[in-house]
Structure 1
């Protein structure tokens, strides 16, 4: 499996876990709450991506040593 495949699979799994953890309630959304949720999701995805990039860099550094 290539690093890119590993990376993409990790992002998909993390996003799926987050969706499962969110409450499963019926709520009425408004444009403001939708925007806030999108922002939160984007911040979460950015954090996961950064963690995965750091992990890949560490693996490459270990291989080069």
Structure 2
């Protein structure tokens, strides 16, 4: 996983130009887990899209 410094740089004006010029993928900010939260992330969380998804759907 890229460090937050790289993500911040790559999403800055100068960093975005450099990342595009070199052909690197543009990273997005990810929501980080914090201790004490009831849910791991806000919104919908996809656990599995394969055969395991049918088995875990009952818990969603």
- TM-score class normalised by the smaller sequence: under 0.3
TM-score normalised to structure 2 length: 0.22
Larger C-alpha radius of gyration, 1 or 2? 2
The structure where helix makes up a greater share of residues is: 1
* Bigger relative contact order (CA 8 A; separation at least 6): 1
